[in-house]
Structure 1
Amino acid sequence: MHSAPFHRRDLLLAFAGLAAGPGWALTTSEQAWDSWKAAFVEDDGRVIDDEQDGISHSEGQAYGLLLAQAFGDRDTFERIETWIRATLATRQDALMAWKWQNGAVRDWRNATDGDLLRAWALLRATRDSGWSGHFRQVQRISRDLVRICLAPDPRASDEPLLKPADQAMATTASVIVNPSYYVFRALIELGQATNQPALIRTAAHGERLLTDPGALRDWIEVQPDGLVPAHGFEDCFGWDALRIPLYLAWSERTDHPALARVRDRFAATSSPKHVATVTGPDGQMRQHSDAPGFRAVAALAALRAPGPAGPPGQGYYPATLGLLAQIAWREGVKTPRSH
């Protein structure tokens, strides 16, 4: 059972207030976080993806950790992390299994973005919130990300690419890559905190990768001659790739050329108050949405304060992106760090 009664309308009213102005209204943001918890976090710390038959996955658990840390909610943070350790983090390495459903792990492969985001959340909890007991796990995850989830770029063997999973294809002829898995700030901060320079180098190379317009896809293959659409996946800028501007903005890369290209993608719809969520390689809109969370990411890509508002029923994924966009605006755009 969920930890509290929940109504979609309440969530959207809270989100709307969150972005009413350029400031960070504590009471309103707390309401938004409480509504997200009520909707998607079980009492035991399991984060529910209601758009995928109620499964739980490493990405969702890691997003829950990031949000709990950002909102100063240690109790929820520890409950989510405890559930992770009891269920997903039971591989022989320090990474998580990807999928849990109906009481058991259903896919033991990892998803690299989930592990990267979890490690970053644990680092932020230790470094920024003073919540002790997690740094050793940060070190272990960072070590195994380097050991298991990096592969040489076929175009330049001394440059590392981020594999989307431990078992993802990676040969001297082709490496499969999900560009939305590059959370640049996380890679850099983890590399610095754990003395893993390969993670920092991966971030720098990933930023260069995204300067190629061909990287603006959900899935690509990096081959010696350049980037091509990944075999077996839809050739589109879609549900995965729309996180690219979120992570660039959060990492203070607001002048990156990919942001301008993404803005054009989001704008490829003529429906008022909608954004294009899936576009083909030619930029033509295939799907669009008025979900507040997707609109928040589109605003962030345009370097505007995210302002989610719209009809109820947006679901786990856009609701999560909406909250993350608020944090990215606060930390990466509105008040960037001094260097």
Structure 2
Amino acid sequence: MARSIDPRFRRSSAGASGNVMDRRTAALGLMAACAVAGDVAGETAGAPAAVPQNAAWSSWAARFLGADGRVIDDQAGGISHSEGQGYGLLLAQAHGDKTAFRGIEDWTTANLQVRQDHLMAWRWHVNGAVRAMDWHSATDGDVFRAWALLRAGRATGCSDWVARAVAIARDIDALCIAPDPRAQQLPILRPGAEARMTADRVLFNPSYIMPRALRALGTAAGTPRLIAAADHGERLIADLAGQGAVPDWIDVTEQGFDAPREHDLRSGYDALRLPLYLIWSGQGRHPGVARGLETLQRARAPGHLAVVTDADGAVTAESDQPGYLSIAALARCRPRPVTPTDAAGQSYYPATLQLLAQVAAREQDACETL
């Protein structure tokens, strides 16, 4: 289905308790109000996106975005999760698709806004339920959702979207920050409000650090700890990169880094996002970029990348999916073009990463700091 693209909408950016249903209803009302604001206000974003970019977005949306605004993870049995809703919202904003943006945020508010704060439940099943521990939050999804709302609000002049972004950012600050056991004044971004932490051990996912988004949200919300968490997160990633492939999950302890208690110690599908996020944040010279590219290039099969390596550095999974190749290409300062047919041959995750890499290349020159 053809989508109307508004270039003004696509613009790159620089504790809550109460009645859940009341907040959900109020949020849907804000979205309706912002639909009007988005049509009549906002700053000029420059030239509209090139046809191939919008064609790639339309192809992605046709496959992974339901008519109700639900982003569908086809590789996980058709579930939806906060990561997908956050990514989808950002992509809709970046491509100027206000209809998709409103639909994604409306669905998210109605189905994942079930907590007594402004964070999302992390998983929704195809039977329409958030089950058991699925109400726990996942910080990466909340960060991307808040950043997308902030960007859209600033581009269109919709103060309600900005206010919603600020509320999410403040709850991330209040609920998802822990002191580094080695230096209490240094904040670690936790992977979720319910993630394990003690005074001497904090669970950390390096790929949840999206520095550009965290700094923008920290500035907008007046929460300097989010900015400090971005700074310290970059230092932690650099330290890990100095030891080898950056892991998906790690424990930060009083003595340094240790194997995580809930996850295998490996570098896989989470960690491969690190070069994308760092380059997007203007950190092309960060050690995490070079290490991430070096890890990806360990594959033996021609045209493939190593997408999973174990604790000993042995490659256990390789892939030639365009989405993963796009991250390596971005790290090499040779952004890979997206074709409208790419989504047809990929599952949700690589297809989504490919579009995110395209937006990153557009918003941050990959070679600017190399």
TM-score for both structures, normalised by structure 2 = 0.82
2:129 aligned with 1:104: yes
2:255 aligned with 1:225: yes
Q: Which amino acid aligns with 2:358?
A: Q
Quote the Cα distance in structure 2 between the aligned partners of 1:221 and 1:67: 31
1:307 CA drift (Å): 3.8
Aligned match of 1:254 = 284
2:108 aligned with 1:84: yes
Aligned match of 1:177 = 204
Contact (CA 8 Å) 2:284, 2:366: kept in 1 or not? no
The partner residue of 1:281 within 311, 314, 330 is 311
Quote the Cα distance in structure 1 between the aligned partners of 2:114 and 2:367: 38
2:360 aligned with 1:319: no
1:306 CA drift (Å): 2.5
Contact (CA 8 Å) 1:299, 1:307: kept in 2 or not? no
Between the aligned residues of both structures, percent identity stands at: 50
Q: Which amino acid aligns with 1:204?
A: D
Gap change, CA 1:256 and 1:307, over 3 Å in 2: same
Contact (CA 8 Å) 1:218, 1:237: kept in 2 or not? yes
Aligned match of 1:137 = 164
Quote the Cα distance in structure 2 between the aligned partners of 1:200 and 1:63: 21
Could you tell me which runs of 5 or more consecutive residues in structure 1 were left unpaired when the two chains were aligned: 5-22
Aligned match of 1:17 = none
Number of residue pairs matched?
A: 317
The partner residue of 1:32 within 56, 59, 72 is 56
Aligned match of 2:235 = 208
Could you tell me which runs of 5 or more consecutive residues in structure 2 were left unpaired when the two chains were aligned: 3-46
Quote the Cα distance in structure 1 between the aligned partners of 2:367 and 2:55: 23
Q: Which amino acid aligns with 1:332?
A: Q
Task: Write the deviation string for residues 21-61 of structure 1: whole angstroms up to 9, x where unpaired.
Answer: xx996111111010111001111101000010000000000
TM-score for both structures, normalised by structure 1 = 0.89
Q: Which amino acid aligns with 1:333?
A: D
The alignment's C-alpha RMSD in Å is 2.0
Q: Which amino acid aligns with 2:129?
A: A
Please say which of residues 327-336 and 41-50 is displaced more in the overlay: 327-336
Quote the Cα distance in structure 2 between the aligned partners of 1:222 and 1:95: 24
Gap change, CA 1:268 and 1:334, over 3 Å in 2: closer
Q: Which amino acid aligns with 1:103?
A: G
Aligned match of 2:219 = 192
Aligned match of 1:14 = none
The correspondence of residues 138-157 of structure 1 with structure 2, limited to 5 A, is: 138-157=165-184
Aligned match of 1:238 = 268
Aligned match of 2:364 = 332
Tell me which stretches of 4 or more aligned residues in structure 1 moved more than 3 Å. 129-132, 307-312, 334-337
Task: Write the deviation string for residues 209-254 of structure 1: whole angstroms up to 9, x where unpaired.
Answer: 0111358100000001111221231211101111111100110100
Residue aligned with 1:104, SS: coil
2:326 aligned with 1:296: yes
